[in-house]
A and B are shown apart, each in its own frame.
Chain A
Amino acid sequence: DSGVTQTPKHLITATGQRVTLRCSPRSGDLSVYWYQQSLDQGLQFLIQYYNGEERAKGNILERFSAQQFPDLHSELNLSSLELGDSALYFCASSTGGNSYNEQFFGPGTRLTVL
């Protein structure tokens, strides 16, 4: 158990819909990262928040947005969903603000868009 929790575990929705994925980091960790893993693909970095502020941005689509709240939990919002958005979405946290710090990953949310 990494100490990072993600909800929900599974999500099935239709094209055009909007969903919100939630992540609670390990106690004391200030950084939260979001990753997308599509079928047979590596992990694609989406975005990082550090202590409530956006720290780094990866290949995140404009239809996607995220935020980190004062209690440090984070939400990833995916809108106007397309079939290609079906993937595993991982959240990770770390103590420091650099991506080379050891990151602790949650179990992921599997999103299926029908």
Chain B
Amino acid sequence: DQQVKQNSPSLSVQEGRISILNCDYTNSMFDYFLWYKKYPAEGPTFLISISSIKDKNEDGRFTVFLNKSAKHLSLHIVPSQPGDSAVYFCAASAPVQGAQKLVFGQGTRLTINP
């Protein structure tokens, strides 16, 4: 039961353009959503998050949009830079039995072409 899905395993974008990574979820109890970025041979690093009471959060070149009715969130990177090439994981957190549990998607490999 994949509660968090990233349907695009990979995405290729030209440098300077906008990268849009998508994520769908099924559990309406998720109350926080996060994006993590992962380079090869390293652990994931936190990028940006959004609470379910908001529909947009922006941090520099990164913006996350949340559409609760569609159970969909997206990460926009603009402008895209070569250093953005990495695997991006969408994650969602829900309260379960008094604790918050994080569920990750399978990741999207973003490649920024010069």
Interface residues in chain A, defined as those with a beta carbon under 8 Å from any beta carbon in chain B:
2, 4, 33, 35, 40-45, 48, 55-56, 58, 90, 92, 98-100, 102-108
Contacts and interface: CB of A to CB of B under 8 A. Distances in A.
A28 B49 CA distance: 22
Nearest to B44: A105
B99 to A, nearest CB: 4
B106 A98 contact: no
In the complex, which of the residues A40, A43, A103, A108 has the most CB atoms of chain B within 10 Å of its own CB atom?
A43
B46 A103 contact: yes
A82 to B, nearest CB: 22
Interface of B: 4, 6, 31-32, 34, 36, 41-46, 49, 89, 91, 93, 96-97, 99-107
Contacts of B99: 48, 55-56, 99
A100 to B, nearest CB: 4
Contact of B101 (A2, A56, A103, A107): A56
Nearest to B38: A105
A100 B106 contact: no
A41 B4 CA distance: 12
A105 B45 contact: yes
A45 B89 CA distance: 13
A107 B105 CA distance: 19
Contacts of B89: 42-43
Given A4-B43, A90-B43, A104-B46, 6 more contacts: A43-B89, A43-B104, A56-B97, A58-B101, A100-B102, A103-B46
B43 A98 contact: no
A104 B47 CA distance: 11
> Residue among A55, A56, A106 with the most chain B CB within 10 A?
A56
Contact of B93 (A4, A41, A98, A106): A98
